[in-house]
Structure 1
Amino acid sequence: MERVDLLPPSSGTDAAPRDDVAERADAHAVVPLLNCLLREVAEPQPAPGDRPVYRLPGGRLLRVRGGRRPADPEVYAVDRWQRVGHDGLVALVAEALRHHTGWANHELPAEMTGSRNAVAALLRARAAALPPGDPYLLSEQSLLTGHPHHPAPKARGGGPHTAWLPYAPEAYARFPLTVLGVRADTVVEEGDTAALDALGQAPPGYRLLPAHPWQLDLTATALAPAFADGRLILLGTTGFPVWPTAAIRTVYAPEYPPGQDLFLKFSLDVRITNDIRRLWRHDLLKLRRTDTAVTEAFESVGPPAAWLADRGYRTADFAFEELAVVVRDGLRASLLPGATPLLAAALAEGFPGSPLAATPDPAAWWEAYLDAVVPPVLTAFADDGVVLEAHLQNTLVAVDATGIPVQALFRDAEGVKLLPDTPRAAGWERLVYCLVVNHLLEIAGALAEHHPDYDPRGALRTALARHDLPEIPALLTAPTLPAKTNLLLRWTDADGAAARYRPLANPLSAGD
């Protein structure tokens, strides 16, 4: 077996003190990596005590402090349990995956380490930064752990921290956009992009195009000829800041002229979680059709649920994907008066002032949450064949002055699937993973963690059972649910869009 670096036994007193940031970075990074390992390849073993024990491919025994956020991994070696640090856990995961798949992969372990190091850089940057005072912006910029079931949720493509920290939401970044002039005869656009023309006055023969400054750095060599021959010109920066959201490449402009707010989604030529985050040509070419279908579905769903429409895109024909920008609806036109939107992923991970943690009545809070989130997603599927990618990062939940959920807002047409382009069974599986496994069960887990006397599963079963879909009875009685295998997907270098699922014990099953 491969050597795995071990820490001194947890009961010992000779461990050297570690930097607080290093300890916290390890703690954040270990959680999603363990979640992936335990869900995708580990086999639970009968064992005494309160720490679950698992056998890994290759034969090693691993035990952890269990729960929604597993921690403190230990490996059985030399006749005793010995602690494993983050570096050792990365080696352990790589060894297990080689045994499980027969494949070698040198890229993913580097991403795992890079993700942990990125967390450390973010923690240090936060210490010198001022968090946003707006609760919505704080929720978007609060995710230090990130995707709870991804092996490297904070990896930033392996570049130096100084290159990306100025644009990192987790470091409370805000920055102006770069404004480009694109020669008019090279512009490609579709849909409503009129908001981009409000950025200023383009020189004769040019059109305005905002650009993400990090993307300009990443593509500087490729774009140099266009700057040299005049197809592109620099016009300065926006006179207002934008705030990167949890998606990193999507920014929120609360002060966009003339007095409106909107979101702008850019390409970033860097791998974040499973994909290089470009706005790919094939996705852009179907954007209007997809967004129109969702918009029409939400007209049937009706308020207060809202869809933040991707109105259109603009780019240049010589850098179609590199310079593309999608214009997305802002919040104010759709938000209920007096309501405060919050990112669902932040409610699951936790952030200062979270109403999930603070609510004195978790049952009422959860029922209101389900009333806001579940009907729009299931109705759009049942009535219009729209499969929303309603996972934690694509859902905003607005709360009233007392913190009770009153509205759900959904976003990102790129991840939407339409029936019958996608077979119904495949569409339903994707919906169940995004809405139930990735989203609702994570919120339920957080709620139970903060309010241990309350079991949220009964209310979730009731909320789903209200909908007359033929798939619902099986959802509530099946022994398993589909869980996306992000660890195996990255280890085998599969396309990020090629979701693969592993059966996960169904906590909604009547036999649970």
Structure 2
Amino acid sequence: MHRPSPIENRLAAELAEARPDLVDRYLAELPGARAAVLTRLWRALAHEPLPWVVRRVRGAHSLALRLADGRALHGPPADPFATDAYATAVRLDGVAHDDPARLMTDLGWPHSAGLAAELGHSAASLALSRAGQEAGAGEWPGSDWEWEQRIVDGHPFHPNCRSRPGFSVVEQLAYGPEHRPVVRLETVPVPAGECLLTGDWPDELRDGVRLLIPVHPWQAAHVLKGGGAGPWRTAHPLMSLRTLALPDGPHVKTALSARLTSSVRDISAYSVGAAVTLSSFATDLAARTDGLLHVTRTLGAATADSPDLAAVLRESPEAYAAPGERVLPVAALATTTLPGSASWLAEFTRLALTVGLRLLDLGVALEAHGQNLLVVLSETGAPLRLVYRDLADIRLSPARLARHGITAPALPDRQVTDDETTLRRKLFGSLVAGALAGTAGSGPILATALETAVRGLPASPDLTALLEGPLPAKALTLMRLSPEVPGDQWAALPNPLAGTH
């Protein structure tokens, strides 16, 4: 059925030059990678409020979509929380499609050509990521960056889970965390008077009256075009690719002006300006969780008045793990075997909901997806407490904070809202439809974990909204198909707890 796409052929040719030993494995991984991306796309077609889909007919063993132009799509039932690749093909007006890029091209919706190119890159890069894996997971990693490098497939629900346009095969192998490289960061010297700086900037990143801003080597080559960059230190890339762990602990978040999944990963001036204030506020607020949550502190942030040349220095989550404990991003939980998985998942879900709902009541909605949220495990694997990092996309409610006698810090308007729907979408969409769903891997398993976890949680309007309403999730495909619409757009997923309360 499938003819190799241009992007698949291009990556194969580049791989034959860079790593000929991986070519056969890459080609063997392509069908599974296409199915993984197609499954994510089919989820979006089945559940997002796409204006080009006018009717959905759900059967016991199939799903039919009637399109606005009269055509029809047929495929398997779409569990919105499943992480296994179950959609190996769907049929558009009777024609089978196993390639998500070709399907999007044939749908012909506005902006579908751009998304189709990204889907093709996502499948090809995912095959490359899988081809480079060593056999067997082995022992539990001993460091935070090793946990992050075990996450091979990227975002569990985003069709652009591994889309890295602008990255050659050599660059993916050199910088992609799943390929386990060591990356040499560079620096660009900028007169301190031309920089916005918050927090402390270490002496090793100063040169007289100039600040040395850490730069990712991809950014130095493709965006800054050299620009006076010089070598600095080696580091291990984390699952976000543009954030790296230095050997002595601190993490460096760099600007990376490339579109990865949905977003261009630069660093805005307002996020630099607010970084330390927000970090201090969040650290104080986390103290109200009785030790269940820690927030990694921002040590310093600087920008040379450009989102393309900026960096944030952040505390490592390992600072909150005692001897014998492990701290790992929630996204990495799917890569390892956990003790007593059903009871473990319920216990972890209770911990996550307890913390998330407590902070929401106080007035802070975390974007607690599997990358930002980390869990501290005991020596036996029990979930003990949580660590949160990267505060750039949280939302604060001055009204809720005031009810608890807390004054909201001065922050950019985009981070401040009293709208309850917005606050709940931010938390529930990231934590429940994201981190917990990705860990559970299916709707029935998620429902069981949630049903067990919510017993005994303090009653609140937020908990009621979680139990009784549809579950919000970002409409990631709709957002890519409607770039003219600013901000987030949302899907209302069937609540896995429907009928149990």
TM interval, short-chain normalised: 0.7 to 0.9
Structure 2 Cα separation of the partners of residues 124 and 311 of structure 1 = 37
Residue 408 of structure 2 is aligned to residue 414 of structure 1: no
Q: Which has the higher contact order (CA 8 A, sep 6+)?
A: 2
Q: 2:375, 2:385 within 8 Å by CA — same for their partners in 1? A: yes
In the other structure, the counterpart of 1:157 is 165
Structure 2 Cα separation of the partners of residues 122 and 401 of structure 1 = 30
SS state of the match for residue 245, structure 2? strand
In the other structure, the counterpart of 1:73 is 89
In the other structure, the counterpart of 1:252 is 245
SS state of the match for residue 214, structure 2? strand
Q: Once the 2 structures are TM-superposed, how far is the Cα of residue 404 of structure 1 from its aligned partner?
A: 1.5
Residue 409 of structure 2 is aligned to residue 423 of structure 1: no
TM-score of the aligned structures, taking structure 2 as reference length: 0.81
Structure 2 Cα separation of the partners of residues 329 and 119 of structure 1 = 30
Structure 2 Cα separation of the partners of residues 159 and 446 of structure 1 = 32
Q: Which moved more, 1:133-142 or 1:374-383?
A: 133-142
Aligned partner (choices 202, 214, 217) of residue 210 of structure 1: 214
Structure 2 Cα separation of the partners of residues 447 and 501 of structure 1 = 19
Q: 2:350, 2:453 within 8 Å by CA — same for their partners in 1? A: no
Structure 1 Cα separation of the partners of residues 167 and 212 of structure 2 = 29
Deviations 1:461-489 (A, max 9, x none): 32xx61343222232122x1212110010
Residue 111 of structure 2 is aligned to residue 111 of structure 1: no
In the other structure, the counterpart of 2:8 is none
Residue 276 of structure 2 is aligned to residue 288 of structure 1: yes
In the other structure, the counterpart of 1:14 is none
Aligned partner (choices 419, 438, 445) of residue 442 of structure 1: 438
Q: Once the 2 structures are TM-superposed, how far is the Cα of residue 444 of structure 1 from its aligned partner?
A: 3.0
Structure 2 Cα separation of the partners of residues 46 and 378 of structure 1 = 33
SS state of the match for residue 441, structure 2? helix
Aligned partner (choices 30, 48, 55) of residue 22 of structure 1: 30
Q: Once the 2 structures are TM-superposed, how far is the Cα of residue 129 of structure 1 from its aligned partner?
A: 13
Q: Once the 2 structures are TM-superposed, how far is the Cα of residue 75 of structure 1 from its aligned partner?
A: 1.4
Q: 2:58, 2:77 within 8 Å by CA — same for their partners in 1? A: no
Structure 2 Cα separation of the partners of residues 364 and 511 of structure 1 = 19
Structure 2 Cα separation of the partners of residues 133 and 511 of structure 1 = 38
Q: 1:315, 1:323 within 8 Å by CA — same for their partners in 2? A: yes
In the other structure, the counterpart of 1:506 is 495
Residue 50 of structure 2 is aligned to residue 59 of structure 1: no
Q: 2:160, 2:262 within 8 Å by CA — same for their partners in 1? A: no
Q: Once the 2 structures are TM-superposed, how far is the Cα of residue 506 of structure 1 from its aligned partner?
A: 0.8
In the other structure, the counterpart of 1:85 is 98
Structure 2 Cα separation of the partners of residues 267 and 189 of structure 1 = 15
Residue 451 of structure 2 is aligned to residue 432 of structure 1: no
Deviations 1:191-235 (A, max 9, x none): 1333xx246xx54443333221111112234x64xx3xxxxx63x
Q: 1:137, 1:243 within 8 Å by CA — same for their partners in 2? A: yes
Q: Once the 2 structures are TM-superposed, how far is the Cα of residue 263 of structure 1 from its aligned partner?
A: 1.0
Q: Once the 2 structures are TM-superposed, how far is the Cα of residue 109 of structure 1 from its aligned partner?
A: 0.8
1:273 partner amino acid: T
Q: Which moved more, 1:175-184 or 1:292-301?
A: 175-184
TM-score of the aligned structures, taking structure 1 as reference length: 0.79
Q: Which moved more, 1:147-156 or 1:483-492?
A: 147-156
Q: Which moved more, 1:422-431 or 1:268-277?
A: 422-431
Aligned partner (choices 476, 484, 499) of residue 486 of structure 1: 476
Residue 243 of structure 2 is aligned to residue 243 of structure 1: no
Structure 2 Cα separation of the partners of residues 210 and 300 of structure 1 = 34
2:436 partner amino acid: L
Q: Once the 2 structures are TM-superposed, how far is the Cα of residue 490 of structure 1 from its aligned partner?
A: 0.3
Q: Once the 2 structures are TM-superposed, how far is the Cα of residue 31 of structure 1 from its aligned partner?
A: 2.7
Q: Quick one: structure 1 residues 441 and 164, their matched pair in 2 at CA, closer, same or farther if it must change by over 3 Å?
A: closer
SS state of the match for residue 55, structure 1? strand
SS state of the match for residue 189, structure 1? strand
Structure 2 Cα separation of the partners of residues 242 and 190 of structure 1 = 23
In the other structure, the counterpart of 1:230 is none
Structure 2 Cα separation of the partners of residues 97 and 404 of structure 1 = 49
2:88 partner amino acid: D
Q: 1:169, 1:245 within 8 Å by CA — same for their partners in 2? A: yes
Q: 1:341, 1:399 within 8 Å by CA — same for their partners in 2? A: yes
Residue 348 of structure 2 is aligned to residue 373 of structure 1: no
Structure 2 Cα separation of the partners of residues 321 and 77 of structure 1 = 45
Q: Quick one: structure 1 residues 272 and 469, their matched pair in 2 at CA, closer, same or farther if it must change by over 3 Å?
A: same
Q: Once the 2 structures are TM-superposed, how far is the Cα of residue 433 of structure 1 from its aligned partner?
A: 1.1
Q: 2:354, 2:457 within 8 Å by CA — same for their partners in 1? A: no
Aligned partner (choices 321, 328, 334) of residue 335 of structure 1: 321
Q: Once the 2 structures are TM-superposed, how far is the Cα of residue 493 of structure 1 from its aligned partner?
A: 1.4
1:431 partner amino acid: L
SS state of the match for residue 145, structure 2? helix
Deviations 1:274-321 (A, max 9, x none): 21110012322232332232122112223142111223302324xx32
Q: Once the 2 structures are TM-superposed, how far is the Cα of residue 396 of structure 1 from its aligned partner?
A: 0.8
2:176 partner amino acid: A
Q: 2:73, 2:92 within 8 Å by CA — same for their partners in 1? A: yes
Deviations 1:46-73 (A, max 9, x none): 54xx632222424323123755133222
Aligned partner (choices 348, 355, 369) of residue 337 of structure 2: 355
Structure 2 Cα separation of the partners of residues 185 and 455 of structure 1 = 56
Q: Which moved more, 1:131-140 or 1:115-124?
A: 131-140
SS state of the match for residue 147, structure 1? coil
Q: Which moved more, 1:485-494 or 1:330-339?
A: 330-339
Structure 2 Cα separation of the partners of residues 149 and 205 of structure 1 = 46
Structure 2 Cα separation of the partners of residues 127 and 481 of structure 1 = 37
In the other structure, the counterpart of 1:15 is none
Q: 1:151, 1:487 within 8 Å by CA — same for their partners in 2? A: yes
Deviations 1:443-468 (A, max 9, x none): 2335966xx9x932321332xx6134
Residue 293 of structure 2 is aligned to residue 308 of structure 1: no
1:313 partner amino acid: A
Aligned partner (choices 394, 403, 424) of residue 381 of structure 2: 403
Q: Quick one: structure 1 residues 174 and 27, their matched pair in 2 at CA, closer, same or farther if it must change by over 3 Å?
A: farther
Coordinate RMSD, CA, aligned: 3.1
* Unmatched runs of 5 consecutive residues or more in structure 1: 8-17, 228-232
SS state of the match for residue 269, structure 1? strand
1:71 partner amino acid: A
Q: 1:157, 1:272 within 8 Å by CA — same for their partners in 2? A: yes
Q: Which moved more, 1:122-131 or 1:292-301?
A: 122-131
Residue 452 of structure 2 is aligned to residue 459 of structure 1: yes
Q: Quick one: structure 1 residues 440 and 121, their matched pair in 2 at CA, closer, same or farther if it must change by over 3 Å?
A: closer
Structure 1 Cα separation of the partners of residues 281 and 354 of structure 2 = 17
SS state of the match for residue 473, structure 1? helix
Structure 2 Cα separation of the partners of residues 289 and 74 of structure 1 = 49
Deviations 1:419-457 (A, max 9, x none): 1321231112221211221122332335966xx9x9323
Structure 1 Cα separation of the partners of residues 191 and 433 of structure 2 = 46
Residue 43 of structure 2 is aligned to residue 35 of structure 1: yes
Structure 2 Cα separation of the partners of residues 20 and 34 of structure 1 = 23
Q: 1:389, 1:435 within 8 Å by CA — same for their partners in 2? A: yes
Q: Quick one: structure 1 residues 29 and 105, their matched pair in 2 at CA, closer, same or farther if it must change by over 3 Å?
A: closer
In the other structure, the counterpart of 1:188 is 196
